Amino acid sequence: MSMPRNVDRRTFLKTAGSAGLAATLAGCSGGDGNGSGSTDSGTSGGDGTDASGGSSGGEDTESGGGGSSDMSGTLVYARGDHPTNYDPQQTTSGEVAKVTNQIFDQLVGFTPGSGGQLREGLATEYSLDGTTATLTLREGVTFHNGAEFTAEDVRATIRRFTDSDYEYYLGDSNRSGYGPFTFGNWVDSIDASSDYEVTIELTQQYAPFLRNLAMFAAAILSKQQIESLDDQVALGTNPQGTGAFTFEQIDNGNQRVLLGGNGDYWGDGPNVEQVVFKTIGQNSTRVQDVINGNSHITDNLDSQSSQQLRNAGSARLASKNGINVGYMAMNMARREEFQNRQVRRAVSLAVNTQAIVDSIYQGFASLADQPLPPDVLGYNDDIDPYPTDKEQAQSLLEEAGYGDGFEFELATFSNPRGYNPSPVETANQVKSDLEEVGLTVNINQFSTFSSYLDYTDQGNHDACFLGWYTDNADPDNFLYVLLDPKVEMSAVPEGQDWISFDTEGYSPLNAAGWANSEFMSRVREAQQSYDEAQREQLYMEANQIAHDEAPWVFIDYAQTLRGVNEAVVGDSYTVSSVGGPFLNTVRLQ
């Protein structure tokens, strides 16, 4: 793939500024990704689509088309981690999604800044009727490799992610946890016999399906590229989509990625000739880079870096209500102590989550009380956060037979996440709180987020910090994705509310190993209902069960914060809680 006409390798290495500093900080402080969860995030289902069928994406189309003829400038996006694989089917990391969402398109999109409203993508019409999803595809779209986009690309994309009989299947060990819950558990067959019509038959009614089509992991790949690869894993080092930007170069040594503007893009933009993603691990340094004008946009801010932006004359703090949750999962599959509900509740009572939110995440987070954040369908207003009550915690531990305490590992990442901007400080708070009730906590700190996710995906943690930014603004994306093991109900032993990570079909996105049949039955029933009132009631009940059973310590719901340099023109960059970042519309002074 050729470089953009005004950038050679030397210029690329120079463009992002302070390369040595970025690499040094990343090496010392560790990386960041998006953990469980992806992208930027959103609100409740139902905006702009009728899940019961008949919805089409006719109202929120992108204007323009055919690419921008006046691309100019280099947009620099500073982030906290540098993944090396940019295959949207091989990751759960939002740090990857920030890049792949520029390279690839989905069949359905999210309207920037809307909190989850659907709009046309590579499909100009879409509907869900019973178990049948019907899509009319956009004509005249080409992949970056020159291949024309047709229905066969949709079919090949889904099969690569889910179909073990497909010659080009990504493989059980290579595909991410998104494979099953995005497509694999629901798609029965795909009719792509017409170039621009796709009919997908589902295994059951599944209310979130159209929203799943807009998730970063549902990016449409090129069948031509898929079938040209000797090793499917290699796609991540040369991704070729239909998006506003082409993948030009990855510089792992200096931790940056270069994208070039796609002048043949079918939608709005791009307005800049290239985008550089560069890594600066430390919050304050990364924000100062934006203030100085060496970067244009950054994310994953904490209270200190947010204040830096408030006081800056050359940059601004942009914010939006975030749809996310931060939590500490207790791994029941690994630790017998956590299989006891009284122990889990005791831990929740002992950890001073109010202090974490007020003192560590000050000013941009609220206290969590359930797995579903506010503003999402099914959030239960009758639930209160766990109070800090160490006396009651000690009493519950004694009743459970652990009055003398026990020792366990708490795994943590190092660099900031939006839902946990100060993970090491948070871990130390948890350690201190639990020591007061006789528990010994050994902090296991990981330097890179990718290695951290590998560790937790394998279930090697006793307890761990994670969080989730919604992918599709549907409650299913929290409750089913994060707390349902995604196995047959019969696979859960009778009288047991946990299950081993090596159970066939188990999803490691459920980092707690929790398998509560009452919770599972409500969430699975809600999936199949197209009645919004019924879904809401079922999700409220599921949230109450999760709160009472405490598989997690519920920590926070965070705002979505971005630092934006004054060189970014007006509102050409929109902060969004779902999808994005939407860099195709960004203009520079």
pTM of the model: 0.80
State residue 489's pLDDT score: 95
Backbone angles phi, psi at 541, to 5 degrees: -65, -40
* Cβ atoms of 427 and 309 closer than 8 Å: no
Contacts of residues 5-8 at CB distance under 8 Å and 24 or more positions apart, as own/partner, are: 5/273, 6/273, 6/274, 7/74, 7/248, 7/258, 7/260, 7/274
Q: Pick from 20, 564, 1: which is nearest to 255 by CA?
A: 20
Tokens of 244: 């506003």
Span between the terminal Cα atoms of the chain, in Å: 28
Residue whose entry in the numeric block shows the structure tokens 């975030």: 322
Q: Do domains 9-146+160-300+561-565 and 324-558 have the same CATH topology?
A: no
365 vs 351: CA distance, rounded Å: 17
In terms of phi and psi (left: phi > 0; alpha: psi -120 to 50; beta: otherwise), the region of 410 is beta
- Chain-centroid distance of CA 43 in Å reads 14
> Quick one: pLDDT at residue 553?
98
Residue that has been written with the tokens 């003829």 in this structure = 69
The low-confidence residues of the chain, meaning pLDDT below 70, are 1-69
Domain boundaries, the chain: 9-146+160-300+561-565, 324-558
How far apart CA 371 and CA 323 sit, in angstroms, is 11
Beta carbons within 10 angstroms of residue 28's beta carbon: 11
Cβ proximity of 222 and 155 under 8 Å = no
pLDDT value at residue 415: 81
Q: Convert the pLDDT of each residue in 329-345 to its tens digit.
A: 999 999 999 999 999 99
Q: For the domain 324-558, what is the CATH superfamily, name and number?
A: Dipeptide-binding Protein; Domain 3 (3.10.105.10)
What does DSSP assign to residue 399?
H
Angle at 255 between CA 448 and CA 38, to 5 degrees: 55
Cα Rg of the chain (Å, integer)? 23
Instruction: Report how far residue 225's alpha carbon sits from residue 378's, in angstroms, rounded to the nearest whole number.
Output: 41
Edge-first strand listing for the sheet containing 197-202: 123-129, 132-137, 197-202, 187-194
- What pLDDT is stored for residue 33 in this prediction? 33
Closest CA to 37 of 378, 319, 324: 324
Task: Show the DSSP H helices in 221-292 as ranges.
Answer: 223-228, 283-292
> What's the pLDDT at 301?
87
Q: What stretches of 63-125 show up as alpha helix (H) in DSSP?
A: 94-103
Please say whether the beta carbons of 83 and 33 come within 8 A.
yes
- For helices 517-527 and 476-483, the axis angle rounded to 10 degrees is 140
Integer angstrom CA distances of residue 350 from 208, 344, 345, 387: 36, 10, 9, 8
The CA–CA distances, whole Å, from 169 to 123, 233, 479, 531, 584 equal 24, 10, 28, 35, 31
pLDDT at res. 304: 84
**In degrees rounded to 5, what are phi and psi of residue 199?**
-120, 125
Instruction: Please report the pLDDT score of residue 196 as a whole number.
Output: 98
Q: What is the predicted pLDDT for the residue at 82?
A: 93
CATH of 9-146+160-300+561-565, one of 1.10.460.10, 1.10.2020.10, 3.40.640.10, 3.40.190.10: 3.40.190.10
Nearest CA to 41 out of 298, 452, 375 is that of 375
- For residue 106 the two structure tokens come to 């989905």
Strand segments, DSSP code E, in 284-406 are 297-298, 315-320, 324-330, 365-367
Two tokens, residue 348: 């929740």
Torsion of CA 395, 396, 398, 402, to 10 degrees: -140
Which tens digit of pLDDT belongs to each residue from 222-234? Answer: 999 999 999 999 9
